[in-house]
Structure 1
């Protein structure tokens, strides 16, 4: 599949883009944004961040970090506990006032108001050097708190996030080698205090980017984004802002959107789908050249994987875990969920677009699995066959077929799986502390928060931040390895990005070698655009979504 739509590249302003989505968008508040598609749209249209990933049609280059509001990607102290950034000149809010260091600090401070600003990333609470209460909560309660304790908390925050003119300095409680990448999230972006309505500002947009909302956002219908007259291309190294307007329409069924854009009528010619086309329509799009040329089929960074429960009697044995991994037919899984336009077989949890991505196969089973070799591993392990186990997964018609395809391969290898389909509250079910008593293998999926394996491997396999008396956190298989936990802490403190991500790749290989998890597939999306849309591409690092930093309309 091409990375851009057919037609000459357009670099001149003008035209209207209709962005069509099922939605609904739950919020446009930068500190509450969580959905990857909504976040990516906001970052390219109206929300500025200190750093950003530069748009590029080459997926291999989409993890390139640049300064956005900041002049560069920052300067870190030797111990990685202090980071300093300088804001660009000429960045303006939509009312013509400059974006200041205090605006950035105020935006970040809102994250600490956990009772009012909810749902977004809380990385600021985790890493900023602000004292905690005995129960682990922050002593700073955000900018809306009042009273004597609020004053002390505010003083602590102002030490951790300090302003000196256009210079902003962050003091962290721990070394964070990729803090500059953490700052790509709108949760670390600016908010102008005088327009902040707290929890009442769910869909408020006050722009520092190239577009501003015309009028108000209509829940379930959408809104129109027009040019911010105070935005300057000279102050923005990320966004090209070619269209004059972006009309965002939500509440449209994904299949209806795809059919409307495929028809290429007057409205469809200037439209782009924000939801992936359904599998049946994907097959039609890829079979018709004129439609394929107007589509893009990126990897999304979402990886499906399996986690053996190492506290179960079945999979406490490393050799049995490796036998299961060896017998796993990832190609059959991909075929069941829709084929090559829906996903790629994956051996690793690290998506292709990340610097830590690798093609190593420590188990040596390939993507089709090797039941005969798996059976030999079980025989060498001296276990009785068939090896019975229970696998839990989030059930729907497609997933039912995909798990059935895996079961067939496992049975050939000497396993006897019992499937446990779960339809409601899946992740709450498998995170329950009692789940380990009845479930031997857990299906799950994950995507990175930014372009580092630090947002994948520690969140899923560091026992020190996951496993407690109340449950496994996200470490569903109760993986515990003190040496590896210590190693991950050291990797997080490596200064050089290239060396750090190479070290994360080595950590991932270790996990695979020990059978800590089994990669299945990295999901893909397929978006289609009208014939007047130009520069169509998708950004895998931002979640495999349509790239609005570069999109344009034919003159």
Structure 2
């Protein structure tokens, strides 16, 4: 599965404690009075990579964000260890709580814990937080990293959408004054003033773009792999982009100031450049060199059934929902898919069962009927259009006949071509043909999203394959970026609203939901809007992707965290 870069935001609007790890029967375990953690040897993590950066304001790949956030880059808030499914509330991490907000939902404040230190022993301060956020407005961070500070902080923007604040390296008094008003410190309390109401902003600040940076340690654009830690581990020596590196215990990390991370291993050896099939086979073999190893990339589908059918291997694996939901976006702006009955027929004829089987079966994916996945608040297992897992060819043909179009109805379907995707789309094509469509598949092997979002593509394609993953566990990062035409549909293209969907009533509902102060009410409303769009076949959900990670026999506490994209949660992992 390709590494997921979190979306560089185009849009401007949009708790259980960690389980203790079992260490009974282990040998060679010591306890450190300061860290409060049972030290248990070195853990090895295996990844294909490559890691593009460890700079918190440049991190944008979800796997790297999940690793950094548990190992060395703490943020104001964080998700509890092993969080999975449904409502997932952030907890205070560097901050004492998950934050406070005023009635407008535009002013959020967080007070830092006492006793949190950098690896040199100096305290993490409110000014460090402010400085870290300020870097996101400068280059190369504004180009390479996440742009949520630009999107949400109440700082004026230029006509082209860029910020009037150029970041901390330029001398711009007016821009600096605007930033100082939007992000301010009073003692150890940092306050953010937003341009739009946000009930879930405390989840946004769990991302590393809001992480603190000590100004004296800032290497700016030259510090691609520099790590200056405020978490349980620090980088032992320079990171090798071709091989990886080792993170050792940060002696100034205090378990008493960290409610999230168990930090069991004495050190974590990160090896990059290992193909997932090779890494999985090495861990399955469980030789002495890999008994304390865990894979960070999902096992290939061809290996998953072997792992899950062997009880011993299954006990050393975890199979969570992963980041992506695959779906189809009918072209509602031109061609046959403007016809509601044609879209209904297409949705009814969609064989999700065949699609999932082609992807690798139940361990690789599960059928999806809406875009709000099972790990998000607001998810509903209902099938809004009533097609069933294998599709309903009879109902689909009847709907297509009602459309007034002459059968067979030609439909052109674009998708990102891989050997697995070719098989999956062929399975779908058979169902659509049975319903009365004449299907022309359009495989695209390179630069898929750039290709299908280019101006003029709507004249060539009737249905677009796509996928999406939330930036944090909220449907506010799913429905608006995909279906709010105000932020997508322009003369230069449709953004990620690939089907060109425009509906002012939906836009108004997106605005209304985003302003709701109660997250439970928001989740319910997002779920209802998601289902209504599915019922209109504005999109056709296909599958929730899943991942399968495997660990050596000496690894304990193996868990994945769906709030972190379904990746292995290093807050819980230890070794015997």
TM-score, with length taken from structure 2:
0.93
Structure 1's unaligned 5+ residue stretches are none
Superposition map of 1:455-466 within 5 A: 455-466=477-488
CA contact (8 A) 1:53 1:62 kept: no
Q: 2:242 maps to what in 1?
A: 220
When the two chains are superposed, the root-mean-square deviation of aligned CA atoms in Å is 1.4
CA contact (8 A) 2:346 2:396 kept: yes
Deviation at 1:135, TM superposition (A): 2.7
Check if 1:54 corresponds to 2:80.
yes
Check if 1:255 corresponds to 2:272.
no
Q: 2:38 maps to what in 1?
A: 12
**Cα distance between partner residues in 2 of 1:153 and 1:260:** 53
1:60-96 Cα distance to aligned partner (Å, 9 max, x none) = 3672311111111111111111111111111100000
**Cα distance between partner residues in 1 of 2:360 and 2:56:** 34
**Cα distance between partner residues in 1 of 2:359 and 2:223:** 39
**Cα distance between partner residues in 2 of 1:528 and 1:384:** 52
Among 56, 59, 68, the alignment partner of 1:30 is 56
1:16-74 Cα distance to aligned partner (Å, 9 max, x none) = 10001111101111111111111000000111111111113x62367231111111111
Q: 1:438 maps to what in 2?
A: 460
CA contact (8 A) 2:385 2:535 kept: yes
CA contact (8 A) 2:140 2:221 kept: no
Q: 2:10 maps to what in 1?
A: none
Q: 1:404 maps to what in 2?
A: 426
**Cα distance between partner residues in 1 of 2:323 and 2:350:** 21
What secondary structure, in the 3-state scheme, does the structure 2 residue paired with 1:118 have? helix
Among 203, 211, 231, the alignment partner of 1:189 is 211
Superposition map of 1:490-529 within 5 A: 490-529=512-551
Superposition map of 1:85-484 within 5 A: 85-115=110-140, 117-146=142-171, 150-484=172-506
**Cα distance between partner residues in 1 of 2:245 and 2:117:** 22
Structure 2's unaligned 5+ residue stretches are 1-17, 25-36
1:178-208 Cα distance to aligned partner (Å, 9 max, x none) = 1111111000110111111111111111101
**Cα distance between partner residues in 2 of 1:442 and 1:502:** 28
CA contact (8 A) 1:83 1:170 kept: yes
What secondary structure, in the 3-state scheme, does the structure 2 residue paired with 1:389 have? strand
Q: 2:27 maps to what in 1?
A: none
Instruction: Assess, with a 3 A threshold, how the Cα gap between structure 1 residues 114 and 326 changes in structure 2: closer, same or farther.
Output: farther
**Cα distance between partner residues in 1 of 2:483 and 2:85:** 26
Q: 1:69 maps to what in 2?
A: 94
Instruction: Assess, with a 3 A threshold, how the Cα gap between structure 1 residues 61 and 90 changes in structure 2: closer, same or farther.
Output: farther
